[in-house]
């Protein structure tokens, strides 16, 4: 036995096997009929599609077992369309598989790499071109061209300058001011403390400024506030934060301090607020301290009290920006 | 689709009704019972309270205390009102089967009269929210579906999902689906705040607004499947599952057929 | 010659006189494509793209990409009288007032989900079979780029209707932009034309979604396909298949019929889904307003893993020199996806560096014969899967009586523990499969027939496997780890020793393999 390692050899392409339709003309005819039936089904699908589009009313519903009450127009239009397309495809593939020649063909790969001589010629041509243009010698041209190209590239960026205004103070301000009434969302009705039982919540917005007839989405995105009433003794707050509550009513920004979803899943039993987007959980009794989830900050608390007429108002604007964090937030 | 409002009755309603019927006539005539409760004579009321106390002592006092004063494992029922009792008992949530879990909707243990008696007894301990009467619950007359939708999305969808299918709360608690719940129970839930649910006061969410919410829920319940199988109405998760199973499954299956040699 | 043939001939020569296309066409009509179901996965993606173009164009005829506030007066009763954006109102119009509009919307959305899903499985096929190796590295990078673009394009499309769910998604995207250090706030103001949500974002997203990205897609897909065409398709190992040839069927007529037919099949299946299964029932979500949200706010599946990562992120938000650094958003939202996609794009070069293999490869690897790569792939998929599961934790919690907190902790620990575990298990599994292959070649197939030997002992009869099978199981190369000398010829330590030691270690791990059987082994056994 020689010491050389002898590998198992490639037996080569296996012998071609004839199909039923290659041997038996009857099988070939059968295959042809099958293909024709498939194409025919497609045509029927188109007919169903046209019929549904033109003649089936869009408000006809019918009960279909396992599927429930379905809109006939939508369902038949779709099924017709699906059949029209699907059966063309199935027919074509069946045709290719049964009737078209299925001899495997061998093609040879060419080397992707260019021959050395071509490579060399390319390098020479490129070098000659560069030399003819004087790129190497005339450095003044090279440098000034580089400068102008670089500068001209700046202009599109500059042109995008009016995409938006600069942030300015916008992220730090809301519509809440000292004395702004809290009104229901929707409904815009002012709220008295006695309107809320213990365990009650209310979705609120600041009262509309004079001359405005509705809240813009930009305002809601910063102003939305959730009111919750607890028993005052349930709070676990420092003196300042306690003074921001009124008879057990506490107000938080509804805009999540994580990514800005509306946090309003209040669990009366646990006094927890949950954000449905990323499941940050806030403890209402401890000024919305984060007790679970990705948020790193409590929800901003709005200091509230009542005005002379007994309606709930803000004592002061929010003392921190509401909503998600940003780079300059704590600056 | 001009007459979308006139959805044909959802066929699921029939079996549901059948189940309700089987569950006991009590559920079907809940509202009627409630109505009679509010016009009870003093004598009837006294009788109902006595009956209710008896039922309470037998079935509820082991947890809620002999005088409904509550215990370490369950809350006091003094001042929770008739509405709360009706919601908890008539939906089968109380008595609880398993203390470790959130009380869930199941076959009610007590029949209609027993629930009314229990409610009367608890209401007699201290005033609390009353069971709304039939007239108060005419949501088709007093509620607006579109307004209800807005109110639902502001006040309810964050827990109960955009289509009222329910959703997860913290630590295994959940907000149940509001589909197939009787209007009176939806109303009672809003005014009493059962379990983790907060209370929605009549001043911040007026009775008309509550009826609008009910009107919207009932419209969503009856809404036929406009675009084919609803996939649970829970958003993109089930859609993704369907694409990876049925969608790609079919396509890969066909690709396999396409590339196998014919015999 | 019939009249028809004569006309066809005239047209053909008219065109060829002016283009000289015949020479090229003649060669390429005979182009050979290997046949395998996994080679159709990329085609699903290609056809889905065409379906997206067609159905998307239909939708643009009615869609009004405007955030102008309107009061809905359309056909859907539960929203009549509700204030909403014109974009949402027109999406409702498409759904309820345009005949076939809902069908097309659903086809468009299903097709988008299938598009990205098929890209992912196509990428998995290319990765696990090593099809990205030289000379196909560029095409791999193009593919990774296309996947990234597809995810962005999908998200933008999901954002357009301005319903409550998509608005919530945009809100989250806004928070991610805003969290970028130093320039985030400015970028967010520029992208949204001011504060969130503003009035200009949807028109801008629209033009990116319907023009800019599809244009880039068209260009990249064209290059992607031209490279496949020019470099010729890879093929699975087997008898008669070598590095120098392609065995398969010619374009004309077989692949014309099969691939053309498959386009109709993909379209048909997508239409079927659009007909029977509702997707994005936006009339139920209601119009977007920042004060509302729905339980179970989820993105489409291809963003689900990102959402899952964001959900499980620890609450880290340090303030450094007075500036807020939202690591709880940046790590899951930008850094980890950045690492994953960059790593994916560079993988061909990383593997080349480890193996030192600079040769061309046209025969695919059987995944078991590249245990390290296969294990790495399964490891990455495990990571993605854990993240994806966490992205749906609320629905899993309600459906399986679990708690979101439990699932979150499972994911937080699982995302660190499970991927390495998956790596080890997969690698062992691959090596066992190699061992099984070796057994099969040396001892043949177990027939299940028992024979009693004269000694009374029972022996199962093994049948030798076919030469074709034997070749398939032994055609792969026996890896040898890259030889790297610590010292050069003159005995001087090479620079960059740590790098080279690391490379050596990787190389050894990568080359781990069961010795493949040779004829010598077979003869030796026969001799016994």
pLDDT tens profile B146-190? 999 999 999 999 999 999 999 999 988 999 999 999 999 999 999
Chain A residues whose CB is inside 8 A of the C262 CB are 89, 93
pLDDT tens profile C92-143? 999 999 999 999 999 999 999 999 999 999 999 999 999 999 999 999 999 9
Give residues with Cβ within 8 angstroms of A306, minimum separation 6.
A192, A193, A246, A312, A313
How much is the average pLDDT of C87-91? 97
Q: Which chains touch C (3 or more CB pairs under 8 A)?
A: A, B
Chain C residues whose CB is inside 8 A of the A73 CB are 99
What confidence tier does B43 reach under pLDDT thresholds 50, 70, 90? Answer: confident
Q: CA-to-CA distance for B110 and B120, rounded, in angstroms? A: 14
Tell whether B242 lies on the interface with C, counting CB pairs under 8 A: yes
Chain B residues whose CB is inside 8 A of the C110 CB are 243, 247
CA distance C317 to chain B (A): 23
Mean pLDDT of chain B: 84
Chain B residues whose CB is inside 8 A of the C261 CB are 258
If residue B127 lies in a helix (H) or strand (E), which one and from where to where?
none
Chain A residues whose CB is inside 8 A of the C30 CB are 105, 107
Beta-strand (E) ranges in chain B?
Answer: 167-168, 174-175
For residue A150, the Cα-to-chain-centroid distance in whole angstroms is 36
Tell whether B258 lies on the interface with A, counting CB pairs under 8 A: yes
Tell whether C138 lies on the interface with A, counting CB pairs under 8 A: no
Contact status, residue C355 vs residue C510, Cβ threshold 8 Å: yes
pLDDT at C444: 87
pLDDT reading at B29 higher than 80 = no
Contact status, residue B91 vs residue B115, Cβ threshold 8 Å: no
Contact status, residue C34 vs residue C236, Cβ threshold 8 Å: yes
What confidence tier does A1 reach under pLDDT thresholds 50, 70, 90? Answer: very low
Tell whether B250 lies on the interface with C, counting CB pairs under 8 A: yes
In a mutagenesis test of the C interface, which of B1, B223, B251, B260 is the best target, namely the one with the most C β-carbons within 10 Å?
B251
Chain A residues whose CB is inside 8 A of the C240 CB are 10-14, 106
pLDDT reading at B7 higher than 70 = no
Facing residue for A105 by CB, picked from C185, C249, C518: C249
pLDDT at B37: 45
Q: What is the DSSP letter of C332?
A: I
The alpha carbon torsion through C395, C399, C400, C405 (nearest 10 deg) reads 30
CA angle C222, C224, C230 (to 5 degrees): 95
Chain A residues whose CB is inside 8 A of the B75 CB are none
**Domain residue ranges in chain B:** 1-131, 136-224, 235-263
Token pair 């997707």 is at which residue? C279
Q: Determine whether the interchain pair A74/C102 forms a contact, defined as Cβ–Cβ distance below 8 Å.
A: yes
Q: Determine whether the interchain pair B162/C75 forms a contact, defined as Cβ–Cβ distance below 8 Å.
A: no
Mean pLDDT of chain C: 93
Count Cα neighbours of A203 within 13 Å in the Cβ-side half-sphere: 26
If residue A247 lies in a helix (H) or strand (E), which one and from where to where?
none
The alpha carbon torsion through B83, B89, B92, B95 (nearest 10 deg) reads 140
- The superfamily (CATH) of domain B1-131 is Cytochrome c-like domain (1.10.760.10)
Chain A residues whose CB is inside 8 A of the B209 CB are 187
For residue C423, the Cα-to-chain-centroid distance in whole angstroms is 20
DSSP-assigned states of every residue in C37-51 = GGGGHHHHHHHHHHH
Angle between helices C301-312 and C164-179 (to 10 degrees): 50
- What are the residues facing A253 on neighbouring strands? A225
> What is the sign of the dihedral through the CA atoms of A227, A233, A237 and A239?
positive
Q: Considering only alpha carbons, which residue of chain A is nearest residue B167? A: A276
pLDDT reading at C285 higher than 70 = yes
Tell whether B247 lies on the interface with C, counting CB pairs under 8 A: yes
For residue A115, the Cα-to-chain-centroid distance in whole angstroms is 49
What is the CATH number assigned to the segment(s) C36-365?
1.20.810.10
CA angle C51, C52, C55 (to 5 degrees): 80
Chain B residues whose CB is inside 8 A of the A75 CB are 228
Q: Considering only alpha carbons, which residue of chain A is nearest residue B129? A: A197
State the pTM of this model: 0.92
ipTM over 0.90: yes
A304-306 and A312-314 beta bridge pairing: antiparallel
In a mutagenesis test of the A interface, which of B16, B73, B226, B262 is the best target, namely the one with the most A β-carbons within 10 Å?
B262
Return the higher-pLDDT residue of B43 and C425. Answer: C425
Q: Determine whether the interchain pair A278/C269 forms a contact, defined as Cβ–Cβ distance below 8 Å.
A: no
Q: CA-to-CA distance for C193 and B26, rounded, in angstroms? A: 59
Q: Determine whether the interchain pair B203/A19 forms a contact, defined as Cβ–Cβ distance below 8 Å.
A: no
Facing residue for B228 by CB, picked from C41, C275, C284: C275
Over its C-alpha atoms, chain B yields an Rg (Å, rounded) of 22
Token pair 């403390």 is at which residue? A193
Angle between helices C301-312 and C101-128 (to 10 degrees): 70
Q: What is the DSSP letter of C287?
A: B
Chain C residues whose CB is inside 8 A of the B168 CB are 295-296, 393-395, 397-398, 404
CA distance C266 to chain B (A): 7
Chain C residues whose CB is inside 8 A of the B175 CB are 295
Token pair 């730090």 is at which residue? A172
Facing residue for B157 by CB, picked from C79, C81, C294: C294
| Delimiting residues of CATH 1.20.810.10 domain(s) in chain C | 36-365
Same fold, B1-131 and B136-224: yes
**Domain residue ranges in chain A:** 20-98, 172-314
- The superfamily (CATH) of domain B136-224 is Cytochrome c-like domain (1.10.760.10)
pLDDT at B35: 45
Report B:66-125 residues touching A (Cβ under 8 A).
none
Q: CA-to-CA distance for A123 and A37, rounded, in angstroms? A: 61
Facing residue for C164 by CB, picked from B5, B153, B241: B153
What's the farthest any 2 CA atoms get from each other in chain A? 110
pLDDT tens profile A104-136? 899 999 888 899 999 999 999 999 998 888 877
Chain C residues whose CB is inside 8 A of the B7 CB are none
Report B:135-174 residues touching A (Cβ under 8 A).
147, 150-151, 154-155, 158-159, 167, 169-171, 173
pLDDT tens profile C485-513? 666 667 676 667 788 888 888 888 888 88
Q: CA-to-CA distance for B184 and A298, rounded, in angstroms? A: 37
Contacts of residues C209-216 at CB distance under 8 Å and 24 or more positions apart, as own/partner, are: C209/C153, C209/C156, C209/C157, C209/C160, C210/C56, C210/C60, C213/C149, C213/C152, C213/C153, C213/C156, C214/C53, C214/C56, C214/C153, C216/C149
Tell whether B58 lies on the interface with C, counting CB pairs under 8 A: no
A249-253 and A61-64 beta bridge pairing: unpaired
How much is the average pLDDT of B116-124? 91
A312-314 and A281-283 beta bridge pairing: unpaired
Contact status, residue C247 vs residue C240, Cβ threshold 8 Å: yes
Tell whether C290 lies on the interface with A, counting CB pairs under 8 A: yes
pLDDT at A93: 96
Contact status, residue A231 vs residue A245, Cβ threshold 8 Å: no
pLDDT at C526: 72
Facing residue for B11 by CB, picked from A68, A202, A266: A68
DSSP-assigned states of every residue in B177-193 = P-TT--HHHHHHHHHH-
Token pair 């509700």 is at which residue? C82
Q: CA-to-CA distance for C106 and C269, rounded, in angstroms? A: 12
Which of A175-179, A247-251, B73-77 comes out lowest in average pLDDT? B73-77
Facing residue for C323 by CB, picked from A82, A104, A331: A331
Q: CA-to-CA distance for C232 and A166, rounded, in angstroms? A: 52
Which of B22-26, C184-188, C247-251 comes out lowest in average pLDDT? B22-26
Q: Considering only alpha carbons, which residue of chain B is nearest residue C389? A: B237
Q: What is the count of residue pairs from B and C with beta carbons less than 8 Å apart? A: 208
Q: What is the count of residue pairs from A and B with beta carbons less than 8 Å apart? A: 132
Alpha helix locations (H) across C212-281?
A: 213-231, 256-276
What confidence tier does B6 reach under pLDDT thresholds 50, 70, 90? Answer: very low
Give residues with Cβ within 8 angstroms of A50, minimum separation 6.
A80
pLDDT tens profile A2-47? 456 788 889 989 888 899 999 999 999 999 999 999 999 999 999 9
What is the CATH number assigned to the segment(s) A172-314?
2.102.10.10
Contact status, residue B228 vs residue A61, Cβ threshold 8 Å: no
CA distance B204 to chain C (A): 16
Facing residue for C198 by CB, picked from A97, A107, A218: A218
């Amino acid at each position: 036995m020689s010491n050389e390692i002898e590998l198992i050899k490639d037996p080569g392409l296996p012998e071609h096997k004839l199909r039923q339709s290659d041997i038996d003309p009857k099988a070939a005819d059968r295959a042809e009929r099958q293909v024709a039936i498939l194409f025919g089904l497609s045509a029927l699908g188109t007919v169903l599609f046209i019929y549904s589009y033109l003649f089936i009313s869009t408000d006809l519903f019918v009960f279909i077992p396992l599927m429930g009450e379905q809109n006939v127009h939508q369902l038949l239009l779709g099924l017709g369309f699906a059949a029209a397309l699907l059966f063309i495809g199935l027919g074509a593939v069946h045709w290719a598989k049964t009737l078209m020649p299925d001899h495997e063909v061998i093609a040879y790969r060419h080397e992707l790499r260019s021959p050395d001589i071509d490579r060399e010629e390319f390098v020479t041509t490129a070098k000659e071109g560069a030399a003819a243009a004087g790129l190497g010698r005339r450095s003044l041209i090279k440098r000034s061209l580089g400068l102008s190209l670089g500068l001209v590239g700046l202009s599109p960026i500059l042109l995008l300058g009016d995409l938006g205004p600069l942030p300015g103070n916008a992220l730090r301000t809301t519509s809440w001011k000292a004395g702004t009434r809290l009104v229901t969302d929707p409904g815009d009705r002012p709220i008295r403390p006695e309107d809320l039982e213990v365990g009650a919540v209310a979705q609120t917005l600041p009262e509309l400024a004079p001359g405005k007839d509705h809240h813009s989405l930009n305002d809601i995105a910063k102003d939305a506030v959730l009111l919750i009433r607890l028993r005052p003794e349930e709070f676990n707050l420092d003196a300042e934060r306690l003074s921001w509550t009124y008879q057990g009513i506490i107000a938080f920004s509804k805009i999540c301090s994580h990514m800005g979803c509306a946090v309003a899943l209040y669990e009366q039993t646990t006094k927890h607020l949950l954000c449905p987007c990323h499941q940050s959980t806030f403890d209402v009794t401890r000024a919305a301290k984060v007790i679970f989830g990705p948020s790193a900050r409590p929800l901003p608390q709005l200091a509230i009290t009542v005005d002379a007429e007994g309606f709930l108002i803000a004592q002061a604007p929010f003392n921190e920006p509401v909503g998600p964090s940003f780079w300059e937030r704590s600056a | 689709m001009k007459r979308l409002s006139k959805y044909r009755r959802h066929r699921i309603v029939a079996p549901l009704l059948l189940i309700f019927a089987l569950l006991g006539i009590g559920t079907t005539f809940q509202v009627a019972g409630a109505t009679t409760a509010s016009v009870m004579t003093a004598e009837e009321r006294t009788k109902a309270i006595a009956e209710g106390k008896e039922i309470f002592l037998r079935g509820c006092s082991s947890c809620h205390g002999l005088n409904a004063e509550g215990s370490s494992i369950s809350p006091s029922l003094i001042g929770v009102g008739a509405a709360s009792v009706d919601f908890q008992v008539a939906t089968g949530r109380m008595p609880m089967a398993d203390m470790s879990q959130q009380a869930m909707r199941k076959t009610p243990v007590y029949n209609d009269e027993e629930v009314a008696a229990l409610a009367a007894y608890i209401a007699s301990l201290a005033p609390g929210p009353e069971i709304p009467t039939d007239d108060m619950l005419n949501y088709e007359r007093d509620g607006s579906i579109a307004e209800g939708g807005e109110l639902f999305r502001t006040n309810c969808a964050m827990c109960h999902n955009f289509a009222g299918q329910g959703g997860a709360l913290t630590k295994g608690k959940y907000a149940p689906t509001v589909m197939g719940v009787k209007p009176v129970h939806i109303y009672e839930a809003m005014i009493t705040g059962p379990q983790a649910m907060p209370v929605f006061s009549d001043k911040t969410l007026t009775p008309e607004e509550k009826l609008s919410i009910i009107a919207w829920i009932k419209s969503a319940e009856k809404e036929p499947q406009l675009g084919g199988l609803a996939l649970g109405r829970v958003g993109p998760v089930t859609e993704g599952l369907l694409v990876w199973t049925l969608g790609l499954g079919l396509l890969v299956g066909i690709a396999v057929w396409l590339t196998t040699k014919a015999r | 010659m019939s009249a028809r043939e004569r006309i066809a001939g005239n047209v053909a020569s008219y065109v060829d006189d002016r283009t000289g296309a015949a020479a090229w066409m003649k060669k390429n009509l005979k182009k050979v494509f290997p046949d395998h179901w996994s080679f159709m996965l990329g085609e699903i993606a290609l056809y889905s793209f065409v379906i997206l173009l067609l159905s998307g164009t239909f939708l643009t005829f009615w869609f009004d990409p405007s955030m102008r506030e309107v009061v809905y007066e359309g056909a859907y009763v539960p929203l009549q009288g509700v204030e909403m954006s014109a974009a949402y109102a027109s999406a409702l119009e498409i759904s309820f007032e345009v005949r076939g509009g809902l069908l097309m919307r659903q086809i468009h959305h299903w097709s988008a989900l299938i598009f990205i899903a098929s890209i992912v499985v196509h990428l998995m096929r290319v990765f696990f079979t090593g099809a990205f190796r030289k000379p196909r590295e560029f095409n791999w990078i193009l593919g990774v780029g296309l996947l990234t673009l597809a995810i962005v394009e999908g998200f933008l499309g999901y954002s357009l209707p301005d319903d409550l769910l998509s608005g919530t998604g945009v809100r989250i995207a806004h928070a991610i932009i805003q969290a970028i250090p130093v320039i985030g706030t400015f970028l967010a103001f520029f992208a949204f034309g001011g504060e969130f949500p503003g009035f200009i974002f949807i028109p801008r997203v629209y033009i990116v979604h319907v023009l800019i990205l599809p244009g880039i897609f068209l260009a990249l897909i064209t290059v992607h396909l031209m490279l496949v065409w020019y470099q010729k398709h890879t093929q699975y190992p087997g008898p008669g298949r070598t590095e120098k040839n392609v065995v398969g069927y010619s374009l004309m007529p077989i692949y014309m019929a099969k691939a053309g037919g498959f386009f109709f099949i993909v379209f048909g299946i997508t239409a079927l889904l659009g007909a029977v299964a509702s997707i994005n029932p936006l009339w139920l979500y209601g119009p977007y307003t920042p004060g509302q949200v729905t339980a179970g706010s989820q993105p489409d599946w291809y963003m689900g893993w990102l959402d899952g990562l964001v959900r499980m992120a620890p609450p880290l938000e340090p303030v450094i020199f007075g500036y807020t650094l939202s690591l709880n958003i940046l790590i899951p939202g930008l850094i980890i996806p950045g690492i994953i996609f960059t790593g994916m794009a560079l993988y061909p070069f990383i593997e080349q560096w480890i193996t030192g293999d600079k040769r061309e490869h046209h025969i695919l690897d059987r995944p078991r014969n590249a245990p390290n790569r296969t294990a790495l792939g399964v490891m990455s998929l495990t990571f993605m899967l854990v993240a994806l599961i966490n992205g749906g934790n609320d629905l899993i919690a309600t459906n399986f009586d679990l708690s979101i907190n439990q699932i979150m902790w499972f994911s937080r620990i699982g995302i660190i523990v499970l991927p390495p575990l998956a790596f080890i298990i997969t690698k062992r599994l691959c090596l066992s499969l190699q061992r099984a292959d070796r057994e099969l070649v040396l001892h043949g197939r177990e027939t299940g027939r028992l024979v009693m030997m004269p000694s009374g002992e029972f022996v199962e009869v093994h049948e030798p496997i076919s030469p074709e099978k034997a070749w398939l199981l032994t055609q792969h190369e026996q890896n040898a780890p890259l030889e790297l000398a610590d010292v050069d010829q003159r005995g001087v330590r090479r620079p960059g020793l740590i790098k080279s030691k690391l490379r050596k270690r990787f190389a050894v791990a990568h080359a781990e393999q069961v010795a493949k059987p040779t004829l010598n082994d077979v003869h030796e056994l026969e001799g016994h």
